[in-house]
A and B are shown apart, each in its own frame.
Chain A
Amino acid sequence: MSKLKDILTPFTAWNNLARDPVTVKDPVNDRPGSARYRGFHQNDIEKCIGCGACESICETGAIRMVPVEGVETKEGDSGLRPEVDYGRCCWCALCVDICSTGSLTMSNEYIWVDEDPEAFTFVPGIDPKPWDKEEKGWKKPEPDYELNIKERVSMPQREAEEREDSFIEIVKGYSREQAIAEADRCIDCGICQATCPAHMDIPDYIRAVREENLEEGFRIMYKTNPLPEVCGRICTHKCEDVCAMGHRGDPIAIRWLKRYIADSVSQENYQQALQQENPQDKDKRVAIIGAGPTGLSAAYYLALMGYTIKIFESQPRAGGMMRYGIPEYRLPYDALDMDIDYILSLGVDIQYNTRVGADVTLDELHENYDSVLIGTGLHAGKSTRIPGTDHKDVHQAIKLLREFSKGNEIPLARRIVIIGGGNVAMDITRTLARLQNQKYGEVHIITTSLETEDVMPADQEEIDEAREEKVTLRPGWGPQKIEIENDQIKGLHVQRCLSVFDENGRFSPKFDEEDQAFFEGDMVVEAIGQGMDISFLSKKVREGLDFTQRGRLMVNDWFQSKQEWLFMGGDIIQGPDVIHGIANGHKAARGIDMYLRGDLRYDEGRNK
């Protein structure tokens, strides 16, 4: 029986004759790829920033970053775009998953036929393809799917109660583990480097943190920035604004990593870490006016080249705005001095308490030195010029900060109104708040600015921390008049500010006259910006200079002015901030070197 069954049963296969065929006639059109199919690449060129993370993760080497027509290199965009080689690609889509901006995706296309083998190496999004607009296909899985950590390692800080009545540094700095964890998040793309005014080798020193090669990191930093202790604390971190990781989550804490490196090399070891050889002395002399970031940076690089340097500084200590503008809780003097001491230790001569124009003239410097660099910065506080500003209890923030840094007593009312929305406004606000706390045990400060909070120029963390320190912020109000009664300031009249700039981006505030307010106070501080004071330029020198239409000084790419022996940089040219000063100083140093070797003419560099 079972024998017979074994012979007959297989014939049940004939049943299938009655079934419909299971194959599809036109598999490509009748059955498109699934919504997640990993088909051919698409790239949203506008969104892509050319960071090359896709290239780095591709294990087959199928991606190459190439320049493409129509895409320019700009801040935050390398100008390159990924080119995919389908002779190598394995369609793993790791490139899609890691893409910093989410611009790279895949279509659900199955088939691509072309008789030209070269066609299969293409730049998605640039070389038009039929699947460019296809919605279906592999996209980075959402949500909570990441091939990186989105959140930055948070910085340990002193709590508000601990800091509100003292000038102790707020930020504590990363520990070894924290620094390495933060450095690990970096994708090594270099987008930041292009944007950093000093073009610091950021990915390289971040790698040094990761690999715990801190002396190497220190050397890398000094190649482009001789003030890392300072920048590691108060840099305006343009790099972080464009960091590729910022498109996905928090940007890398570049500034804190810099600080970590700088802090981990002790001052005795600077020499050894930097491995600098003594340069051959050159018989040329350079005078530098101002020992701020520009002057110090230029002095450092010029000294390394063997020039004889002399800095003329109007204040009793070096540092400029870094010392006399930025409060100690942000930048402790010890840290600042570490940077400055090393620069001065290279044989840079400095003459304090000497104001050029008063104690010595520019013409004298011109006579005695082969080249002069001006890095005086912006120290003249601007006034709102509203009625009442000539009262004795109306002060300039920049002046108060300077006096306080020098150890002098500064006026301190019980109730203070501060006008300004930038970092200087925050600095004076928080300084006075600390002093009020010390003296009166309470804070009564109103800080008001034209700009609303979303467009206030101050760093967000400054704004947040000021609030934590119990300061009242009233952004979006325009000052009208200081109310004075019996020669006593009573407060500030303001009205609602509707917009700060006109459509051409020019400063032209519009107000709502209906919406008025009054901020009570016994003292008013203006912190609405600083101007330059170049009265020390003699008429002869001034006449030989180029000015822009808006009255700014004009220099070429090397910060050389039309008076070819005279170079200028820092806040009077660019910025204002420390890192531009450092970058300008470095570039000016190279310019001065070229000029002194007879290789640089004013017209050769493009005008700035």
Chain B
Amino acid sequence: MKKNNSFDQSPDRSKYPENGPDNKPDIDLSSGKYSKVWQGPNHPGVTGNMSLELTLCGDEIVDAKTHVGYLHRGFEKLFERRLYMQVMPTCLRMCVPESDTNEYCFAEAVEELSGIEAPEKAKWLRMLVLEMSRLQMLLRVVPGQGGAFGLGIGVQWGMYVRELVLDLFEELTGGRVYHMYMLPGGVRGDLPEGFRERAQSVMDEVFRFAERIDNVMFTNSVFKKRAIGTGYIDPSWVDQYGIVGPNARAAGYKRDIRKDHPYLRYDQLDWEVPVLENSDVFTRSRIRWMDMQVTASLIGQILEKMPEKGSFKAPTPNALNWRIPKGETYVKAEASRGEFGYYVVSDGSAYPRRIMLRGPSYTHAIALLERLLIRANIADVGAIMVSLQTCPPEIER
């Protein structure tokens, strides 16, 4: 695949601004050569509430600056005034589309600090929910990549299948989007009767969907033309920018916390971590498409291997007076976007001293995006953001 986004292959360097003394492009707006446009915060081509300040030369971007702060809700501060149990229904809001990773990291961190272990059954149920969560996220973002280029049909199909997954969520957790299912000590319910069969038939639907999306997106000359070579991430940037998850795996890095540092019962599941070379929009989209099928198969495995019986919640002290012993911990998990982690500090009281989220969007949607947008065509901005799977709510905690 051609890398047409690297500096050396640029057609005509004279169009672009020289670097100034601070090594940043020196842009003189009064020269008439450049114009400035804002994409966002209200713009269909932006993934969520952030905005991009773009300097254009013609339809090419010569400078990009990201702006966040449009939906700052101060969650991390709020947590300091919440009992540990009360953090649970709040923390998941840090990432709307994939809330369960928040629940998991938080619950696990509290358990670790207080020396409680969730029962075996709860571990499997947690894993199930995490994979279902990944699946519904990928069902949005995989076809969403086509959507960013104007290919709407996959999005509609994807939404349908995702609804089926949400139905499963509703059955299991009582909620469709915010599940509030994992809490320190375990989970809030066992598998409903007949869940396995229903889940399996949804997974079959996922595989059918994957095939169709392969036809309309990945075997589509228009999509290919737009996606291949766009938003290229050089493998050397991966560690430089802290790139994780599918964005790194598309650049040849075989990294997945589920394999590298197995948590829950991932070591008992059988799968290959997808890796590809040449991390551009196409490859990143493709790797998520592969992830989606891996996840569907993992869900099948989990349902098969999960113990039938057993308690799903360990006894925990009175939620209104639960003081967590002094300490700190960092708990991480592989979200669909990559490493997602909670740093929790306890001062021994019933309220957390500090809870901090490490989310992949912080690096992907700020530093990396600013770099990727240079030389990009303005029409590709939305697609590049989608391909990084950025999520502003998770940047602003």
Please report A residues at the B interface, Cβ cutoff 8 Å: 3, 5-7, 9-10, 12-13, 22, 33-38, 53, 56-57, 59, 90-94, 97-98, 138, 141, 144-149, 181, 183-188, 210
In the complex, what residue of chain A is closest to B82 when comparing beta carbons?
A59
The interface size bin for chain B is: 35 or more
Other-chain contact of A141, B180, B188, B321 (Cβ < 8 Å): B188
In the complex, what residue of chain B is closest to A147 when comparing beta carbons?
B319
Please state if A90 and B216 are interface contacts (CB–CB under 8 Å).
Answer: no
Tally of contacts, chain A with chain B, CB under 8 A: 119
**Is B173 located at the chain interface by the 8 A CB criterion?**
yes
Shortest C-beta distance, B71 to chain A (Å), equals: 16
314-365 of chain B: CB within 8 A of chain A: 315-323
Please state if B219 and A9 are interface contacts (CB–CB under 8 Å).
Answer: yes
Shortest C-beta distance, B225 to chain A (Å), equals: 9
Please state if A35 and B192 are interface contacts (CB–CB under 8 Å).
Answer: yes
Please state if A13 and B174 are interface contacts (CB–CB under 8 Å).
Answer: no
**Is B138 located at the chain interface by the 8 A CB criterion?**
no
In the complex, what residue of chain B is closest to A183 when comparing beta carbons?
B321
CA distance A554 to B221 in the complex (A): 99
Please state if B86 and A94 are interface contacts (CB–CB under 8 Å).
Answer: yes
- Knowing A36-B172, A36-B192 touch, does A187 contact B219 (C-beta < 8 A)? no
Please state if A57 and B86 are interface contacts (CB–CB under 8 Å).
Answer: yes
Known: A13-B153, A13-B215, A149-B318. 19 other contacts (CB 8 A): A6-B224, A9-B216, A10-B216, A13-B216, A34-B167, A36-B172, A37-B170, A92-B89, A98-B320, A141-B190, A141-B312, A144-B311, A144-B313, A146-B315, A148-B319, A184-B317, A184-B318, A185-B321, A187-B320
CA distance A148 to B188 in the complex (A): 14
Neighbouring A residues of B370 by C-beta, 8 Å: none
Please state if B224 and A34 are interface contacts (CB–CB under 8 Å).
Answer: no
Please state if B319 and A38 are interface contacts (CB–CB under 8 Å).
Answer: no
Please state if A34 and B174 are interface contacts (CB–CB under 8 Å).
Answer: yes
CA distance A97 to B186 in the complex (A): 14
Please state if A59 and B89 are interface contacts (CB–CB under 8 Å).
Answer: yes
CA distance A181 to B316 in the complex (A): 12
Please state if B212 and A13 are interface contacts (CB–CB under 8 Å).
Answer: yes
Please state if B220 and A10 are interface contacts (CB–CB under 8 Å).
Answer: yes
- Knowing A57-B320, A92-B180, A145-B313 touch, does A7 contact B172 (C-beta < 8 A)? no
Please state if B88 and A210 are interface contacts (CB–CB under 8 Å).
Answer: no
58-116 of chain B: CB within 8 A of chain A: 82-83, 85-90
Please state if A34 and B170 are interface contacts (CB–CB under 8 Å).
Answer: yes
Neighbouring A residues of B178 by C-beta, 8 Å: 90-91
Please state if A57 and B174 are interface contacts (CB–CB under 8 Å).
Answer: no
CA distance A13 to B167 in the complex (A): 25
Q: What are 11 pairs between A and B in contact, CB < 8 Å?
A: A7-B221, A9-B216, A10-B216, A36-B171, A59-B86, A93-B180, A144-B312, A144-B313, A147-B319, A183-B321, A184-B318
Neighbouring A residues of B153 by C-beta, 8 Å: 13
Shortest C-beta distance, A248 to chain B (Å), equals: 11
Neighbouring B residues of A9 by C-beta, 8 Å: 215-216, 219-220
Shortest C-beta distance, B196 to chain A (Å), equals: 16
CA distance A90 to B180 in the complex (A): 10
- Which 9 residue pairs of A and B lie closest in terms of their CB atoms, listed nearest first? A92-B89, A59-B86, A6-B221, A147-B319, A9-B219, A36-B174, A148-B318, A38-B174, A34-B170
Neighbouring A residues of B317 by C-beta, 8 Å: 148-149, 181, 184-185
Neighbouring A residues of B311 by C-beta, 8 Å: 144
- Knowing A3-B221, A33-B170, A138-B174 touch, does A59 contact B90 (C-beta < 8 A)? yes
CA distance A186 to B321 in the complex (A): 8
Neighbouring B residues of A144 by C-beta, 8 Å: 311-313, 315
Neighbouring B residues of A187 by C-beta, 8 Å: 318, 320
Neighbouring A residues of B85 by C-beta, 8 Å: 57, 94, 147
Other-chain contact of B215, A10, A38, A141 (Cβ < 8 Å): A10
- Binary contact track B170-186/A, C-beta < 8 Å → 1, others 0: 11111100101000001
**Is B38 located at the chain interface by the 8 A CB criterion?**
no
CA distance A315 to B330 in the complex (A): 68
- Knowing A59-B86, A93-B180, A141-B188 touch, does A37 contact B219 (C-beta < 8 A)? no
Neighbouring B residues of A98 by C-beta, 8 Å: 319-320
Shortest C-beta distance, B213 to chain A (Å), equals: 10
In the complex, what residue of chain A is closest to B189 when comparing beta carbons?
A141
In the complex, what residue of chain A is closest to B169 when comparing beta carbons?
A34
In the complex, what residue of chain B is closest to A137 when comparing beta carbons?
B174
In the complex, what residue of chain A is closest to B81 when comparing beta carbons?
A59
Please state if B90 and A145 are interface contacts (CB–CB under 8 Å).
Answer: no
Shortest C-beta distance, B117 to chain A (Å), equals: 15
Please state if B89 and A36 are interface contacts (CB–CB under 8 Å).
Answer: no
- Binary contact track B269-296/A, C-beta < 8 Å → 1, others 0: 0000000000000000000000000000
**Is B207 located at the chain interface by the 8 A CB criterion?**
no
In the complex, what residue of chain B is closest to A21 when comparing beta carbons?
B160
CA distance A186 to B318 in the complex (A): 8
Neighbouring A residues of B87 by C-beta, 8 Å: 59
Neighbouring A residues of B86 by C-beta, 8 Å: 57, 59, 94
Neighbouring A residues of B321 by C-beta, 8 Å: 183-186, 210
Please state if A12 and B89 are interface contacts (CB–CB under 8 Å).
Answer: no
- Knowing A6-B221, A10-B219, A34-B171 touch, does A56 contact B90 (C-beta < 8 A)? no
Shortest C-beta distance, A600 to chain B (Å), equals: 42
- Knowing A6-B220, A57-B85, A145-B313 touch, does A36 contact B170 (C-beta < 8 A)? yes
Please state if B189 and A36 are interface contacts (CB–CB under 8 Å).
Answer: yes
CA distance A90 to B87 in the complex (A): 12
Other-chain contact of A22, B89, B160, B170, B322 (Cβ < 8 Å): B160
Neighbouring A residues of B190 by C-beta, 8 Å: 141
CA distance A91 to B153 in the complex (A): 33
Please state if A145 and B312 are interface contacts (CB–CB under 8 Å).
Answer: yes
Shortest C-beta distance, B199 to chain A (Å), equals: 14
CA distance A149 to B322 in the complex (A): 11
CA distance A185 to B175 in the complex (A): 29
Please state if B318 and A147 are interface contacts (CB–CB under 8 Å).
Answer: yes
CA distance A567 to B219 in the complex (A): 98
Neighbouring B residues of A13 by C-beta, 8 Å: 153, 212, 215-216
CA distance A59 to B183 in the complex (A): 14
Neighbouring B residues of A94 by C-beta, 8 Å: 85-86, 88-89, 319
231-279 of chain B: CB within 8 A of chain A: none
Task: Determine which residue in B172, B175, B186 has the highest number of CB atoms from chain A within 10 A of its CB, and name it.
Answer: B175
CA distance A35 to B321 in the complex (A): 31
CA distance A92 to B188 in the complex (A): 11
CA distance A185 to B85 in the complex (A): 15
Shortest C-beta distance, B157 to chain A (Å), equals: 8
Neighbouring B residues of A36 by C-beta, 8 Å: 170-174, 189, 192
Shortest C-beta distance, A435 to chain B (Å), equals: 44
Shortest C-beta distance, A134 to chain B (Å), equals: 14
Neighbouring B residues of A91 by C-beta, 8 Å: 175, 178
Shortest C-beta distance, A204 to chain B (Å), equals: 14
CA distance A97 to B189 in the complex (A): 11
CA distance A36 to B219 in the complex (A): 42
Neighbouring B residues of A6 by C-beta, 8 Å: 219-221, 224
In the complex, what residue of chain A is closest to B211 when comparing beta carbons?
A12
Please state if A38 and B175 are interface contacts (CB–CB under 8 Å).
Answer: yes
CA distance A146 to B178 in the complex (A): 21
Please state if A53 and B170 are interface contacts (CB–CB under 8 Å).
Answer: no
CA distance A273 to B140 in the complex (A): 65
CA distance A595 to B216 in the complex (A): 94
CA distance A9 to B153 in the complex (A): 14
Shortest C-beta distance, A1 to chain B (Å), equals: 12
CA distance A91 to B175 in the complex (A): 9
CA distance A59 to B315 in the complex (A): 21
Task: Determine which residue in A7, A144, A181, A186 has the highest number of CB atoms from chain B within 10 A of its CB, and name it.
Answer: A144
In the complex, what residue of chain A is closest to B315 when comparing beta carbons?
A149
